[in-house]
Each structure stands twice: as structure tokens, then as C-alpha cells.
């Protein structure tokens, strides 16, 4: 397997049928998923558990209903995901780090009436208040209660169905909603993206056609399954392509995760640059050396991160790029064709075009279309509840450059530019200057309105000694324009991040506004 040409027709099946196809290829007894509880499940066991749980869920949900899933990454989340698909329901993956207001808004937009969670998770994550507020608008169902209610008949029924799963699973079109995911909210309120079965199966196969994976490699995924990167890349791709996946419930356990990578002898790992940096700090020498490569996405990979992984662990870092709306992977580097500073080439089957943005001289906006690109955003006012994309094209909002060999370089987000004195300044470029000067620290730039120049720059840094004068001197030596240097640097103990590992620019924007207001007062 691996390096097979991408065939869109081959991806036009439901997610549950894709699971059954993987079982036929690899064998039902093949152990395919495990988590920190260390109770691995084979394909046969996943399918049997999905039918057992699905049988109970069928009694309390309606056909094609969107059902909220509030669970950490793990075997339970995978079984729940496929249990809903076995009975023709749509999982709506909920971000438990997003806060009650965003969760309630998401549930309302997706018409979620019931949310599945686990008492153990709620207690360990101290989410009682969140679930309490969510429970005022939707029905909360605990998986422990459903499991305890399973009788002998339920278990025998699941066993029978597992012998002929194609006869008993719900029959759905590949174009029907396969999952509802909510964008990360890095720059504003999250939006609900509706991805079809074919969208996700296509992206799995596009990745697998693009990157050469040894059939015997084992995968390690600590990323949340409410984020498309953690769901498609970290959980579904290995399961649907026959690789054992070890799933871990939190990416924030920086010492435990490297130790588990060593214990599980994992070969491929998914992370972000922020998390990868912390894993390297928390790892003992050799902890991560079983990895052949680590795939990093969701944010720019720093040169320092590449250097430490190569020097300490001999691990190659493959930077990729995607968007929830594209299921999510759009481009990724490949072993043997890995260009630092780029996010690799665009996956097979994806059409793309570039659009000029007035005032932005470097790069153009990327617009994509393909079998992995979503149906549309949730919109309760639309006839079918979804705002369909015009001709299937999705505006990524990302400013990129694509060279003659097809390698994509991300310049920045269209909304991540500030207009200062009539000139467009990339906030990504501002962060890059700070990163070059203070490479051992993290930095984030935002802009605020300025009556004199249009906008002004503010830099947040976890370097307590960061000074604007030092940054100005360095920028001038680098040939950077003076207007791209923030006059205001705000020190923070740490840069806030979302549950996905991305910088939380919404929180920083709010903090900057509060800081400037208090200083003015």
C-alpha cells in the first residue's frame, strides 16, 4: 500500500464502508487502534462495538440526525464515530476547549439535540461546568450509561451483525454529510463545516497517494479529534489504510507522550510546531528515535524545531498545510522531496488557482476545488441548512507563492495583514523577524487601529527581555522596512494557544485592546 495513484471513484463510498474495506484488506483480527488504557481493538472488535453502541443510539436518535460528540482522542471516540455511521447519523465533533458560548452556538447551527460524552472524561477534564451549561440546551448522554444498559440481546445482535456488516449498516450516499466540524476560531468565531463521506475518504486516499508509507508503520496521534487534522490525518487515515494507531487524549502531556512513543515503537507522529517543540524538551534521548518522520501542520515550522529533531532524534519533519474546509490536507512535503520553508506540493486531485489581492505585493490568495473540499458551511437559513460553495471553489484566505516545481510557501493569511501608512505589512513577517532575533522564544503579532497611520503593530513575546529597540536594530540589519517593526512589545509568560495548537489570536487581540485601553487611561 502507499504511493497508489489517487482515483476519485475509489473514494466514493461511505466512511463505514471504507472501514469494512480496510478490514477485508488487512484481516478482521488485525489490531488497529489503541489508547492510553492499553486495551487494543482489532477491526472485528471495532465493528462489533460500533454495532452494539449504534443499536442503543438508534433508539434515542433519528435517521440522519447530527449528534454531538464531546470526547477526547481515543478508542472510545473512534468507536462512537463509527457507531453513529453504522446507523446513519452524523457526528458533530465538539471542541471542549472552545467554551460554552461557542459550543452552544455550534450545536444550534448543526441542530444538535443530543451530545455524547463520558463521565470519566468530564471529571478528569474538570468540564462539569461546561457540560452543565451545554445541558441546558441539549440532552447529555453518557457512554457509561449506554454501555451498562447493553443486555445479552444487544451483544448477540452486534455479534451477528459483525459477521455480515454490509447487510446491517445504514446505506448512505457518499455525498451525504459525514461529519460536522467547526473551524478553529484562530481569527474569529468558529464556523461549522459540513464534510461529506466522500470528502474525507478522498482526503485519506489523496494523502496516501502523495506520501509513501510502509505498510507496517505504526502511527501516534495526540491531536484532538474535534480538529480535522487530528480526525482525518491522525485517526481515520491509519485506520482506513491498515496502520495501527495509538491515540492519546491530550497533546499537552509533554513528558508522557515522548515516553509512549518509545514504548509503542511508533514510526509516524502528528503534531504542531508548538507541541513538537515541547515534546523535544520533555523527551529523554532516544524517546522519539523510533519515528521515521513527524508530520507537522496548523502553524509554521521553525528552523530550530527541524534542527533539534534531526540532531537529537534523527527524525525528519514534514510540514504540511490544510484547512478544515478541505478535510483538511491541501499540501504536504514528502520524504525525499522535503523543502524546508515550504508546505510541499498540492495533493493529487486538487485544482487550484491564485488571485491577486490589492496592496499585497508578495504572494496571491489560494482558491481550491476537489473531491475533498466541503459541501459548505452550516447556515440554518439556507434551504438544506448549508451554504454551498460557488462552483465548488473554496477561498482559503491564505496568501501563498507556488514555485515552478509546485512547492507551496505560505506568506500569510489575507486577514493577517496590517495597513500602515498605506502599506500592507504581513503580521507573519513581523513574527518571523522576532523569531530570527529571539529563536528560543515564541512570538505573535496583531494590529490595532491607529488614527494617525491606519493601524499599529503589537508584538506579544514570552521572552521577558524583548525590547522594541533591539528588534528595530535587528530588522534594519536584515533590511526589513521600519514600518514592519512593532513599537509595542507585550511580555507574556506564554503565548496562548487553542486546543489545536494554533496561536489564539482572538485572545491576543482582546488582550492588546485591554492593554492599550488601560495604558491610555
Q: What is the pLDDT of residues 361-411, one digit of tens each?
A: 788 999 999 999 998 998 877 767 788 888 999 999 888 999 999 999 998
Backbone angles phi, psi at 443, to 5 degrees: -140, 150
Q: What integer pLDDT is reported at residue 423 of this predicted model?
A: 66
Q: What is the pLDDT of residues 202-237, one digit of tens each?
A: 999 999 999 989 999 999 999 999 999 999 999 999
Q: Evaluate whether 330 touches 395 at the Cβ level (below 8 Å).
A: no
Confidence of residue 2 (pLDDT cuts 50, 70, 90): very low
Q: What is the pLDDT of residues 280-313, one digit of tens each?
A: 999 998 899 999 999 998 888 989 999 999 999 9
Contacts of 163 (CB under 8 A, 6+ apart): none
Q: What integer pLDDT is reported at residue 492 of this predicted model?
A: 92
Going by the DSSP 8-state scheme, the letter that residue 414 receives in this structure is T
Grid cell in block for residue 424: 500592507
Distance CA 493, CA 384 (A): 46
Distance CA 505, CA 384 (A): 32
Distance CA 332, CA 77 (A): 26
Q: What is the pLDDT of residues 414-425, one digit of tens each?
A: 677 776 765 667
Instruction: Please state, as a whole number, how many other Cβ atoms lie within 10 Å of the Cβ of residue 402.
Output: 18
Q: What is the pLDDT of residues 472-493, one digit of tens each?
A: 888 888 877 777 788 889 989 9
- For the chain, helix, strand, coil in percent to 5 are 40, 25, 40
Give yes or no for residue 521 having a pLDDT over 50.
no
Where are the alpha helices (H) located in 248-372, listed in sequence order? 256-264, 273-282, 303-313
- What residue has cell string 508548538? 274
Instruction: Please state, as a whole number, how many other Cβ atoms lie within 10 Å of the Cβ of residue 187.
Output: 17
Of 3.30.70.2860, 3.90.1300.10, 3.10.129.10, 3.30.300.30, the CATH number of 416-520 is 3.30.300.30
Distance CA 299, CA 301 (A): 6
Burial class (CB in 10 A: 0-12, 13-18, 19+), 368: buried
Distance CA 228, CA 492 (A): 29
What's the half-sphere exposure (Cβ side, CA atoms, 13 Å) at 12? Answer: 7
- What residue has cell string 485591554? 514
Using CA atoms of 512, 518, 519, 521 in order, give the dihedral in degrees to the nearest 10. 140
Distance CA 312, CA 277 (A): 12
Largest CA distance in the chain: 75
SS3 222: coil
Contacts of 38 (CB under 8 A, 6+ apart): none
> pTM surpassing 0.85?
no
Of the candidates 156, 170, 150, the one whose C-alpha atom is nearest the C-alpha of residue 19 is 170
Where are the alpha helices (H) located in 39-151, listed in sequence order? 43-60, 75-86, 100-109, 119-124, 128-134, 143-148
Grid cell in block for residue 371: 473531491
Kind and range of the H or E run holding 41: strand 41-42
Q: What integer pLDDT is reported at residue 518 of this predicted model?
A: 58
Using CA atoms of 102, 105, 106, 111 in order, give the dihedral in degrees to the nearest 10. 160
Burial class (CB in 10 A: 0-12, 13-18, 19+), 113: middle
Mean pLDDT of 259-271: 96
Domain ranges in the chain are 8-402, 416-520
Distance CA 21, CA 330 (A): 25
Please give the CATH architecture assigned to the domain spanning 8-402.
3-Layer(aba) Sandwich (3.40)
Grid cell in block for residue 329: 490536507
Q: What integer pLDDT is reported at residue 211 of this predicted model?
A: 93
SS3 311: helix
Distance CA 412, CA 429 (A): 8
Confidence of residue 1 (pLDDT cuts 50, 70, 90): very low
- What residue has cell string 486546543? 499
Distance CA 47, CA 296 (A): 30
Of the candidates 194, 166, 181, the one whose C-alpha atom is nearest the C-alpha of residue 86 is 166
Amino acid at each position: 500500500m502507499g504511493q497508489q495513484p489517487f482515483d476519485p471513484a475509489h473514494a466514493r463510498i461511505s466512511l463505514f464502508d471504507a472501514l469494512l474495506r480496510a478490514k477485508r484488506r488487512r484481516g478482521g483480527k488485525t489490531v488497529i487502534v489503541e489508547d492510553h488504557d492499553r486495551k487494543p481493538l482489532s477491526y472485528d472488535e471495532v465493528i462489533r462495538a460500533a454495532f452494539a453502541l449504534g443499536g442503543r443510539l438508534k433508539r434515542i436518535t433519528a435517521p440522519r440526525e447530527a449528534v454531538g460528540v464531546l470526547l477526547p482522542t481515543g478508542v472510545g471516540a473512534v468507536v462512537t464515530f463509527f457507531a453513529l455511521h453504522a446507523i446513519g447519523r452524523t457526528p458533530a465533533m465538539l471542541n471542549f476547549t472552545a467554551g460554552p458560548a461557542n459550543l452552544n452556538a455550534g450545536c444550534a447551527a448543526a441542530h444538535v439535540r443530543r451530545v455524547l460524552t463520558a463521565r470519566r472524561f468530564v471529571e478528569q477534564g474538570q468540564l462539569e461546568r461546561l457540560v452543565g451549561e451545554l445541558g441546558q440546551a441539549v440532552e447529555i448522554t453518557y457512554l457509561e450509561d449506554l454501555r451498562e444498559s447493553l443486555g445479552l440481546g444487544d451483544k448477540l445482535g452486534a455479534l451477528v451483525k459483525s459477521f455480515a456488516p454490509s447487510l446491517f449498516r445504514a446505506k448512505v450516499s457518499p455525498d451525504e454529510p459525514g461529519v460536522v466540524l467547526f473551524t478553529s476560531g484562530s481569527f474569529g468565531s468558529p464556523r461549522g463545516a459540513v464534510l461529506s463521506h466522500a470528502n474525507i475518504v478522498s482526503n485519506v486516499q489523496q494523502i496516501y497517494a502523495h506520501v509513501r508509507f510502509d505498510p507496517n508503520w505504526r502511527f501516534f496521534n495526540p491531536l484532538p479529534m474535534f480538529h480535522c487534522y487530528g480526525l482525518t490525518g491522525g485517526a481515520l487515515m491509519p485506520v482506513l489504510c491498515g496502520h495501527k494507531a495509538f491515540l492519546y487524549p491530550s497533546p499537552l502531556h509533554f513528558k508522557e507522550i515522548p515516553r509512549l512513543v518509545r514504548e509503542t515503537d511508533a514510526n509516524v507522529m502528528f503534531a504542531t510546531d508548538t507541541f513538537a517543540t515541547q515534546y523535544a524538551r520533555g523527551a529523554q534521548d532516544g524517546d522519539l528515535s523510533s519515528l521515521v518522520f513527524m508530520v507537522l501542520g496548523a502553524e509554521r515550522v521553525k528552523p530550530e524545531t527541524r534542527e533539534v529533531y534531526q540532531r537529537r532524534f534523527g527524525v525528519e519533519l514534514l510540514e504540511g498545510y490544510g484547512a478544515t474546509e478541505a478535510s483538511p490536507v491541501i499540501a504536504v512535503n514528502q520524504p525525499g522531496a522535503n523543502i524546508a520553508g515550504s508546505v510541499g506540493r498540492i495533493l493529487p486531485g486538487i485544482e487550484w488557482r491564485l488571485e491577486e489581492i490589492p496592496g499585497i505585493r508578495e504572494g496571491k490568495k489560494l482558491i481550491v476545488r476537489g473531491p475533498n473540499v466541503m459541501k459548505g458551511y452550516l447556515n440554518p437559513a439556507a434551504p438544506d441548512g448549508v451554504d454551498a460553495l460557488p462552483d465548488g471553489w473554496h477561498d482559503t484566505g491564505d496568501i501563498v507563492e507556488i514555485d515552478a516545481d509546485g512547492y507551496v510557501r505560505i506568506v500569510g493569511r489575507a486577514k493577517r495583514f496590517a495597513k500602515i501608512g498605506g502599506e500592507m505589512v504581513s503580521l507573519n513577517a513581523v513574527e518571523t523577524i522576532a523569531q530570527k532575533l529571539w529563536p528560543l522564544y515564541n512570538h505573535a503579532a496583531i494590529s490595532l487601529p491607529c488614527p494617525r497611520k491606519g493601524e499599529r503593530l503589537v508584538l506579544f513575546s514570552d521572552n521577558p527581555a524583548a525590547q522594541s529597540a533591539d528588534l528595530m536594530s535587528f530588522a534594519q540589519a536584515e533590511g526589513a522596512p521600519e514600518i514592519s517593526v512593532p513599537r509595542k512589545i507585550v511580555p507574556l509568560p506564554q503565548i496562548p494557544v487553542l486546543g489545536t495548537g494554533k496561536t489564539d489570536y482572538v485572545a491576543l487581540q482582546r488582550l492588546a485592546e485591554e492593554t492599550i485601553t488601560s495604558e491610555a487611561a
